[in-house]
Chain A
Amino acid sequence: MKSEDIPSIRKIIRRNKRLELFFAVAGFLALLVGVLTFVALFAQMAWSGWERITPDFFTNFPSRRAGQAGILSAWVGSLLVMLVTALSAVPLGVAAGIYLEEYAPKNLFTDIIEINVTNLAGVPSIVYGLLALGVFVYTFGFGQSILSAGLTLGLLILPVVIVATREAIRSIPLHIREAAYGLGATRWQVTRDHIVPYSLPGILTGVIIGMSRAIGETAPIITIGALTFIAFLPESPIGPEFPWVNFEWLKSGFTVMPIQMFNWTSRPEEAFQQNAAAAGFILVLMTLAMNAVSIWIRYHVRKDIKW
């Protein structure tokens, strides 16, 4: 184009910009659909459950009287199940991600693992429930326990953790690796000193996304059989004497937030619907809190890592 053509350039630009504006509005609206749905659901739960959110709600066990029913066993159960989920999925997922990205030779077996991981990410959660029922509950004899539920959800989020780990590792430039190997580091030293620390923010993000999903899962927990009425807490994981940990709680029966909610929504009394809304609100708050933690960690760890 020559400078004489400026008017025609301007015409083109105006046309291009009209389209752009159109899309920007569309994009904004699309975003609004997502965000407003969330806000609407959240606000609705807050609105109808608000009255029920008192300190008692957190410290009461379930009850036939909606006004006295609380979520103590549910939130403690959710927390403990998530603990098992994290403790199983994170080391396994990170180790698997490291293996695939740093160690695995390119062969049929690793190809299979790879396709398998993407495939697992798409397997419906209910199918994990069927697996867990057959394997954890009966074959391994863990019963309908916190351990079974935690491991089930652990398997469920394993692909998410693996994929996040791999992505994070892949974003570490090759030259950082070469620098470390060049100094004579072994593969494990490179992994331990560089790969893991530098990919930590990405891994954390994946873990949190996975956990956010796991904490709201209903279907697989139903299949393995969570309890619906449970008016006591599992043994404390912190033991009174050395080594200060206690594993009794793993075998305990449990209920979790979504199950409690599910039970309340299917109650005939209207008042239980309020409880369900309140429980839903708190469940989303728990998810929010996890995300906030991850954002915080991500920000503070990532700040120091650049190439």
Chain B
Amino acid sequence: MDLNAWILLLEGAWTTLWISGVAIIIGVSAGLLIALIRQKKIPIIEQLLTLYISLVRSTPLITLVLFLFLSLPALGIHLEKHIAAILSLAINTAAFNAEIWRSAIRNFSKDQHEAAMSVGMTHWVFFRHIMLPQMIAVSLPPLVNEMSFLIKGSPAIAIIGIVDLTRVTNRISAVTYQPLYPILGAGLIYMIIVGVLVKLQYVAEKKAHRLAM
């Protein structure tokens, strides 16, 4: 593999990273929103969200990507392929993040809520300054874990033609007929990215430990 191939790989890595990054930001916030909505247990919405989570749980990313990219136009929604990729990653990860947030909400101590009420906090102040910071600390390790799953699933977006780290290997080997080295190179870069996330998760776990009462 020459320098050029490495440059192509790094460009692919950048694509993987920014698309995943945007999907993570959307997915984490949407997950929180879903979890908060589910707290309210609004009749029909609750069932729809349950169905959504159940469906996404067993739908492979690659199927979801193809579905969104190929079939939404039939409904008159025109999706740029990068948008389709981000959307499908986000839809997938949001379902898992919602479950993470939900368990953080459910396990939040009732006592702390009472303590907040009794110093005269409003619900919003309580949520913003007491509950949310703790939810973040508790959820961060599983959220980061889910982020590494997202990165590991991201090669699915290659199938709609996004030149991510995985698809770059095809491009290189389509010329050289020597796929082994680009695959190994891509694998190495993935390992570095996910490895950083795993480290991050470890640090977040240590931080969250402080909250263990």
Asked if A pairs with B, the answer is no
